[in-house]
Amino acid sequence: MGLCDARTVIITGAGGGLGRAYALACGAEGANVVVNDIRREAAEAVCAEIRAAGGTALASDDDITQLATAQRIVDAAVAAFGEVHALVNNAGICRDRMFVSLTEADWDDVMRVHLRGHFCLANLLARRWRDAAKAGQKIDARIINTSSGAGLQGSVGQSNYAAAKAGIAALTLVQAAELGRYGITANALAPAARTGMTEQVFADMMKAPSDGFDYYDPANVAPLVVWLASAESAHVNGRMFEAAGGMISMADGWRTGPKSDKGARWQPAELGAAVGDLLARATAPQAVYGA
């Protein structure tokens, strides 16, 4: 028996890197895997690997950033497997530059793939699951989003990527709050692994060792994704996980910190001392990556 037996999982950006690792791991645990990637040959190759290991998979190269084409992914999954139980929003791109060097295209492309890409499939599936729940069906569904350490702490040279990933973290909180009543959970992870997006920036740090444990192997993150996609994770909602190597942690997000309440309107000249007091009592933020 696999952890995801009889569950259908759509994984975006699954033709390589982390997405491929997730697809292989979900397939090994009994899931019907929809491997979505804009590179059709890459998606087909991952499906072939899953089938060779005895699993079930379907390839898709439809665009995740448009509702009409995202609907085709859902329709194909339902036609092949009857229902969808989990969505892993993994696809992403980088257009790294210092903030003052960013172009409109650098900004818009990253927002489109990350934020629109996280919206379209999740919106379509959430509607489907909500309607089924309202019709009396028992729903046990999962949305698994992908943020990043850059989205949680910021990253020099990646303001567009960091902003998109921070948006995904907030999106996850709202999805969890709104959709939990229908049997849908939404969680996110910030993985650290060797992929096509990281190999140029972190090539030396993340290169595979000649022997021993390969800390940055994408396969190290996959077990957490499998578990989150399974029925076992139904009690976990609105959480942000960080995962790298053999480490998993639960991120502690923005929360109201030290307060100073005058009980009346502040005067501008009073705020220097008030803010100084708050700074003295506040926990220092984690450093921005690369700072």
Structure confidence by residue, pLDDT tens digits, 255-266: 899 999 999 999
What pLDDT band is residue 204 in, cutting at 50, 70 and 90?
low
Query: What is the token pair recorded at 179?
Result: 């959709």
Count of residues making up the chain: 291
Quick one: pLDDT at residue 123? 98
**275 contact partners, CB below 8 Å, separation of at least 6:** none
pLDDT category of residue 291 using cuts at 50, 70 and 90: confident
Mean of per-residue pLDDT scores for the chain: 94
pLDDT at 282 > cutoff 80: yes
Confidence of residue 19 (pLDDT cuts 50, 70, 90): very high
Distances (CA, A) of 200 to 11, 101, 103, 151, 290: 24, 19, 21, 19, 15
User: What domains are defined for the chain?
Assistant: 8-250 (3.40.50.720)
Residue range 77-94: average pLDDT? 97
pTM: 0.92
Identify the pLDDT of residue 254. Answer: 85
What per-residue confidence (pLDDT) applies to 285? 87
> Does the pLDDT value for residue 205 go beyond 90?
no
Give the percent of the chain with pLDDT over 70: 94
pLDDT in tens, 48-73: 999 999 999 999 999 999 999 999 99
**DSSP secondary structure letters along 57-118:** EEEE---TTSHHHHHHHHHHHHHHHS---EEE--------B-GGG--HHHHHHHHIIIIIHH
Q: Could you report the per-residue pLDDT of 116-172, keeping only the tens digit for each?
A: 999 999 999 999 999 999 999 999 999 999 999 898 998 999 999 999 999 999 999
> For residue 214, what pLDDT is reported?
81
- Residues tagged active-site: 148, 161, 165
pLDDT band at 206 (very low <50, low <70, confident <90, very high): low
Q: pLDDT tens for residues 171-187?
A: 999 999 999 999 999 99
pLDDT tops 60 at residue 197:
no
Per-residue model confidence (pLDDT) at position 186: 98
- Give the whole-angstrom CA distance, residue 138 versus residue 209: 46
At 202 the pLDDT is 54
